[in-house]
Chain A
Amino acid sequence: MTVHTTSPQFKQNATRALGDAQLQKALGNVKQGFIDKRQKAAEALPEFEALRDSARDIKNHTLEHLDLYLEAYEEKVTASGGHVHFARNAEDAREIILGICREAGAKTVTKGKSMISEEIGINHHLEAHGIRPVETDLGEYIIQLRNEMPSHIIAPAVHLNATQVEQDFRRVHRHLDAKRDLSEPVQLLTEARSVLRERFLAADVGITGANFLVAETGTSIIVTNEGNGDLTQILPKTHIVLASIEKLVPTLEDVSQLLRVLARSATGQELSVYTTFSTGPRRSGDADGPENYHVVILDNGRSSMLGTSFEEMLRCIRCGACMNHCPVYHAVGGHAYGWVYPGPMGAVLTPSLIGVDKAGHLPNASTFCGRCESVCPVRIPLPKLMRHWREREFERHLTPATVRSGLNLWGFFAKRPALYRLATRAAMGAMGLAGRRHGRFAWLPMAKGWTKHRDFPAPQGETFQARWQRERKDKTA
């Protein structure tokens, strides 16, 4: 197992999130910002939809030949003077990274934003062995100060407001003047910049994630807007890249296709500010750059998704568009999902990685509106995959007894259309009659979960199927 999960308590998490005024205010920023920006960027590039197809095809091709591309990649990294380490699970990865840090005599380690590093819980492991990890992405830095998990894969502190950040900075940056003005976000940014600048220069090892690995050249790629990933990797003597198997792509041409959809889907930028291609350690004659270059490639349950319907999830390039467009994410935020990956992509990936017994609630947390799939740059059929998890949960008898008997009851009628029509006609007729006066129900037997929060609209007395039949007849008449 990896880091602690509260996914089994999704319902309690969600209820708490809905009542958290501070969080609800912060979540408003997600709804407003990301959707419009992505829309504009997509519309500004006529080839955008074709590029999504291209991105999907590249990922599918790579996954089908993943073993061979990994071998080719490893060969290239080694040829350029770097080292590739294969980590089967989180524990392997933690031990490999700790070993490299010890060899480097590391006291402090700077880190670029890496969801996989959250997944393997590397920070706690390093701390437990006397090495200080310092997150350098502004959002990650803030949540590290609060000892929290990221609530969004590209905007880890999106659940917070500026006043909360101010309180954290005053609590932690004790060496600074207590009377300083931090009322403006830019003042917070400037303070983080100067505090972290010292950390960058003092670090012995830098750990970054990777957005992509290129088999053709043995290159790892990171994209950032802050430049923190670059300072993390060029200043210390040792650079460790932590990447999962599905980051691999064949060539520089392929990665260029994926980069054309990544930033546009994520933040609506044409391209992120810094796209950095790193290959091996410092060359002879180089004036700067790391002397040692290590890549830790993590499986941690992913290889078992290959060859199954969940293989499609391994196309994910972590843009965050699915959660930015998700009404459930908008309502409860990322922490409710209880692990590293929130939103629709998390609802599909988390059960694969930590088990459907722990994360079975997540694929249920969907209205199946389909917005996530409609914006996914690699066209992952997220609703379909969530439905697959629901089926597995049902097959494995993990669904609560009341839900199971309800579904069985519905199934009984669904298989007998005449009976179904009769039963629904009776029910709709009765409810239409009972709700005639108000047009809605404030209370219904067995539907407390609904009516506790909102009224149930009263049916008009006719079933959908009956109306369909009637109107079709009218039309043909």
Chain B
Amino acid sequence: MSARDDFLASIRRSLGVKGNEAIRRQIVTERLERAPRGIVPARGQVSGEERIALFKTMAEASLATVTEVASPTEVPQSIALFLRNHNLPATLRMGDDPRLAAMPWTETTLEIAHGPSEGTDLNAVTHAFGGVAETGTVALVSGHENPSTLNFLPDNHIVVVSAKDIASDYESVWNRVRFAYGKGSMPRTVNWITGPSRSGDIEQTLLLGAHGPRRLHIVVVRD
């Protein structure tokens, strides 16, 4: 008997089952297929301006900063201003996300670098897959468009999110992931990020900037 068979046999013995019961198999298959929603808090079930406002309130409560711009063309100026306001160098690393690539970065004095981070970058920008109003969370997917290292290694992480991609709840984001990647499939990594890195490990005192970014700045694009 292989370790795997032994392992499963031990579970089946305790449960008092054989593993070939048709009814059990059917219950499991159906649940995986239907993926029923549980309880979704009413808090996020708002739309339009109210939803954007909730997203902003919740993100700020998690100690992120949020700014809004009217169109994608205004993003580079807005980010340049954010860096200047915090006395940060005018450098920025990004992947090759087409939405970011289409923005007029040359209108700013920002020095742009491309590709994943090797740990020496101060600032990076990534484009979110979506947002969740319920908790002010941004959802990012891995890939060359937005390498995961950009979400964690730089000191200052800037996330661009389209207002139309801000959902009420987590479940709505999963629906979009299924639509984009197929049911039962996932990108290598989905990152939900709610505020900047922190630790409470020393005397339960909240300190920002543990291993990940010290700042999380979100730019909401209205278009």
Contacts and interface: CB of A to CB of B under 8 A. Distances in A.
Contact of A273 (B14, B41, B193): B193
Contacts of A256: 38, 169-171, 174
Contacts of B61: 270
Given A67-B19, A138-B199, A303-B11, A196 B211 contact: yes
A276 B191 contact: yes
Given A26-B203, A86-B3, A304-B14, A273 B196 contact: yes
Interface residues of B, number: 82
A155 B200 contact: yes
Contacts of B19: 67-68
Contacts of A139: 199, 201
B32 A225 contact: no
Nearest to A75: B184
A217 interface: yes
B207 to A, nearest CB: 5
A271 B194 contact: yes
B107 interface: no
A270 B135 contact: yes
A33 B205 CA distance: 9
Given A34-B204, A274-B197, 7 more contacts: A46-B41, A68-B24, A92-B3, A160-B202, A162-B202, A275-B192, A283-B187
A70 to B, nearest CB: 7
Contacts, number: 275
B7 A86 contact: yes
Nearest to A227: B212
Given A69-B28, A287-B144, A201 B119 contact: yes
A43 interface: no
Interface of B: 3-4, 6-8, 10-17, 19, 24-25, 27-28, 31-32, 35-39, 41-43, 58, 61-62, 95, 115-116, 118-119, 134-137, 142-144, 147-149, 151-153, 169-171, 174, 177, 184-205, 207, 209-213
27 contacts: A26-B203, A30-B204, A51-B38, A67-B17, A69-B28, A71-B8, A72-B32, A87-B7, A185-B205, A193-B211, A218-B186, A225-B210, A226-B210, A227-B213, A234-B148, A245-B11, A250-B35, A257-B39, A259-B170, A267-B200, A270-B135, A271-B137, A273-B198, A274-B191, A278-B189, A287-B143, A287-B144
B95 A287 contact: yes
Contacts of B210: 138, 189, 193, 225-228
Nearest to A26: B203
- Mostly, the B contact residues are loop
Interface in A143-173: 155-158, 160-162, 165
Given A189-B199, A270-B61, A307-B14, A227 B152 contact: yes
Contacts of A30: 204
Interface of A: 26, 29-30, 32-34, 45-47, 50-51, 54, 58, 61, 64-72, 76, 80, 86-88, 92, 136-139, 142, 155-158, 160-162, 165, 185-186, 188-190, 193, 196-197, 200-201, 215-219, 225-228, 230-231, 234-235, 245, 250-254, 256-257, 259-260, 267, 269-283, 285-289, 297, 299, 303-308
Contacts of B207: 185-186, 189
Which 6 A-B pairs have CB atoms at the shortest separation, nearest pair first?
A227-B212, A226-B210, A139-B201, A306-B14, A275-B192, A86-B7
A282 B188 contact: yes
A138 B189 contact: no
Contact of A253 (B17, B35, B185, B186): B35
A161 B203 contact: yes
A215 B207 CA distance: 35
B147 A287 contact: yes
Contacts of B205: 185
A250 B194 contact: no
Given A138-B210, A288-B149, A54 B39 contact: yes
A258 B56 CA distance: 24
A201 B116 CA distance: 13
A48 B175 CA distance: 23
Contact of B32 (A33, A51, A227, A250): A250
Given A66-B11, A250-B32, A225 B189 contact: no
B211 A289 contact: no
Given A278-B189, A303-B11, A306-B11, A230 B58 contact: no
B147 to A, nearest CB: 4
Contact of A45 (B11, B41, B187): B41
Contacts of A72: 28, 32
Nearest to A255: B170
Given A66-B15, A189-B199, A256-B171, A158 B204 contact: yes
Contacts of A185: 202-203, 205, 207
A88 B10 contact: yes
Given A288-B148, A299-B7, A47 B41 contact: yes
Nearest to B119: A201
